[in-house]
């Protein structure tokens, strides 16, 4: 199953409305949105949960508070949660205002985030 195209379109529209310059990267059946070459957010199909989740890079400052919300799950691809990243269930981004809230958290953190080291080209 591929990522949720409708959610991808909603994210694109909101980022455009906020005048955010972004790029997209397809990854392992999901989609990642990047700003300044750093992951902003993404869409992940979770086999355990059974639906598309919004993957949000929000940083450590707000991580604990947001993780306590019922629509939030720890981001744990490998079984070990990654601090500063959360999954948001569809109930948490159902409305445009809900989605905007998460994107605003991601956009606020992005300038503080470290970019991944570039991979060596062979």
pLDDT tens digit sequence for 37-95:
999 999 988 777 678 899 999 999 999 999 999 999 999 877 788 899 999 999 999 99
Q: Looking at the domain assignment, is residue 75 inside a domain?
A: yes
User: What pLDDT, on the 0 to 100 scale, is given for residue 2?
Assistant: 74
Please give the biggest Cα pair distance in the chain: 45
| pLDDT of residue 1 exceeding 60 | no
Cα–Cα distance list, 74 to 3, 18, 70 (Å): 19, 27, 11
Q: What is the mean pLDDT of residues 108-120?
A: 81
Q: Domain of 98?
A: 5-112
Q: What is the CATH number of the domain that holds 78?
A: 3.90.1150.30
| pLDDT of residue 97 exceeding 90 | yes
User: What pLDDT, on the 0 to 100 scale, is given for residue 121?
Assistant: 53
User: What pLDDT, on the 0 to 100 scale, is given for residue 120?
Assistant: 62
Q: Looking at the domain assignment, is residue 54 inside a domain?
A: yes
Contact 8, 54 (CB under 8 A): no
Of the candidates 8, 4, 7, 14, the residue with the CA atom closest to the CA atom of residue 104: 14
Count structural domains, the chain.
1
Q: Looking at the domain assignment, is residue 119 inside a domain?
A: no
Reported as type and span, the H/E element at residue 99 is helix 96-109
């Amino acid at each position: 199953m591929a990522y949720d195209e409708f959610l991808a379109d909603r994210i694109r529209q909101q980022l455009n409305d906020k005048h955010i310059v972004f790029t997209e990267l397809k990854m392992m059946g999901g989609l990642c949105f990047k700003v300044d070459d750093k992951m902003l957010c993404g869409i992940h199909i979770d086999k355990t949960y059974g639906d598309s989740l919004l993957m949000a890079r929000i940083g450590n400052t707000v991580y604990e508070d947001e993780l306590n919300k019922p629509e939030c799950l720890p981001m744990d691809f490998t079984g070990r949660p990654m601090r500063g990243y959360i999954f948001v269930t569809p109930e948490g981004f159902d409305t445009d205002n809900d989605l905007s809230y998460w994107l605003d958290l991601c956009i606020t953190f992005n300038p503080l985030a470290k970019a991944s080291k570039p991979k060596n080209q062979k």
